[in-house]
Amino acid sequence: MAKRATKAAAGDPKDNAEDYLRMYRQMVRIRAFEDQANQLYLSAKMPGLTHMYSGQEAVAVGICEALEVTDRITSTHRGHGHCVAKGAEFKEMFCELLGRAEGYCRGKGGSMHIADQSNGNLGANAIVGGSMGIATGSALRAKLQGAEDVTVCFFGDGATAQGLWYEVMNMAALWKLPVIYACENNGYSEYTRTAEIAAGEIRKRAEAFGIESFTVDGQDVLAVNRLARDLVGRARRGEGPFFVELETYRYHGHHVGDINRDYYRARDEEAEWKSLRDPIVNFGKWLEAEGVASAEELVAIGQAVEEDAAEAVAYALEAPYPPGEEVDMHVFAGVPHALAYIDGAKA
Partner 1 sequence: MSEKTFRAALNEALHQEMAANPDVVVFGEDVTGGLGGDGEEDAWGGAFGVTKGLLAAYGRDRVLDTPISESAFVGAAGGAALTGLRPVVEIMFVDFIGVCLDQVMNQAAKFRYMFGGKARTPMVLRATFGAGARSASQHSQALYPIFTHIPGLKVVIPATPHDAKGLLIEAIRDDDPVIFLENKMLYDVTGEVPDQSYTVPFGEARVVREGGDATIIAFGRMVGRAEDAAKTLAKEGIDVTIVDPRTTSPLDTETILEFAEETGRVVVVDEANPRCGMAADIAALIAEEAFDALKAPILKVTPPHTPVPYAPELEDAYLPDAARIADAVRRVTQH
Of 144 and 276, nearer to partner 1 (C-beta) is: 144
Determine the interface stretch with partner 1 among 26-34, 51-59, 182-190, 325-333 (rule: CB under 8 A).
Answer: 325-333
| Closest of 52, 27, 56, 57 to residue 37, by C-alpha | 52
Which residue from 17, 25, 38, 170 is in contact with partner 1, where contact means CB under 8 A? 170
Which residue from 12, 48, 117, 239 is in contact with partner 1, where contact means CB under 8 A? 117
Q: Are 83 and 51 in contact (CB under 8 A)?
A: no
Q: Are 74 and 126 in contact (CB under 8 A)?
A: no
d(CA 8, CA 14): 10
Q: State which of positions 122-151 bind partner 1 (CB under 8 A).
A: 122-123, 125-127, 130-142, 144-145
| Minimum CB–partner distance for residue 101 and partner 1 (Å) | 9
Which residue from 167, 239, 269, 307 is in contact with partner 1, where contact means CB under 8 A? 167
d(CA 158, CA 82): 17
Cβ-Cβ contacts under 8 Å for 319 (sequence gap 6 or more): 95, 98, 100, 101, 102
187 forms part of the interface with partner 1 (CB under 8 A): no
Residues paired with residue 189 on neighbouring β-strands, in sequence order? 192
DSSP 160: G
DSSP 44: T
Determine the interface stretch with partner 1 among 41-49, 170-178, 249-257, 296-304 (rule: CB under 8 A).
Answer: 170-178
Q: Count other C-beta atoms under 10 Å from residue 198's C-beta.
A: 17
174 forms part of the interface with partner 1 (CB under 8 A): yes
48 forms part of the interface with partner 1 (CB under 8 A): no
Cβ-Cβ contacts under 8 Å for 170 (sequence gap 6 or more): 209
d(CA 113, CA 124): 5
Of 46 and 177, nearer to partner 1 (C-beta) is: 177
| Closest of 170, 177, 171 to residue 147, by C-alpha | 177
Determine the interface stretch with partner 1 among 115-123, 183-191, 222-230, 313-321 (rule: CB under 8 A).
Answer: 115-123
d(CA 42, CA 281): 25
334 forms part of the interface with partner 1 (CB under 8 A): yes
164 forms part of the interface with partner 1 (CB under 8 A): yes
| Closest of 196, 112, 195, 206 to residue 165, by C-alpha | 206
Of 197 and 340, nearer to partner 1 (C-beta) is: 340
| Minimum CB–partner distance for residue 268 and partner 1 (Å) | 38
Which residue from 81, 107, 156, 178 is in contact with partner 1, where contact means CB under 8 A? 107
Q: Count other C-beta atoms under 10 Å from residue 298's C-beta.
A: 22
d(CA 227, CA 127): 28
| Minimum CB–partner distance for residue 224 and partner 1 (Å) | 24
DSSP 294: -
> How many chain residues are in contact with partner 1, going by CB under 8 A?
52
330 forms part of the interface with partner 1 (CB under 8 A): yes
Q: Are 65 and 3 in contact (CB under 8 A)?
A: yes
108 forms part of the interface with partner 1 (CB under 8 A): yes
User: x-or-dash pattern for partner 1, window 67-106, by CB under 8 A?
Assistant: -----x-x----------------------------xxxx
Q: Which amino acid is at 109?
A: G
Of 72 and 252, nearer to partner 1 (C-beta) is: 72
Residues near partner 1 (CB under 8 A): 72, 74, 103-109, 113, 115, 117, 122-123, 125-127, 130-142, 144-145, 163-164, 167-168, 170-171, 174-175, 329-334, 338, 341-344, 346
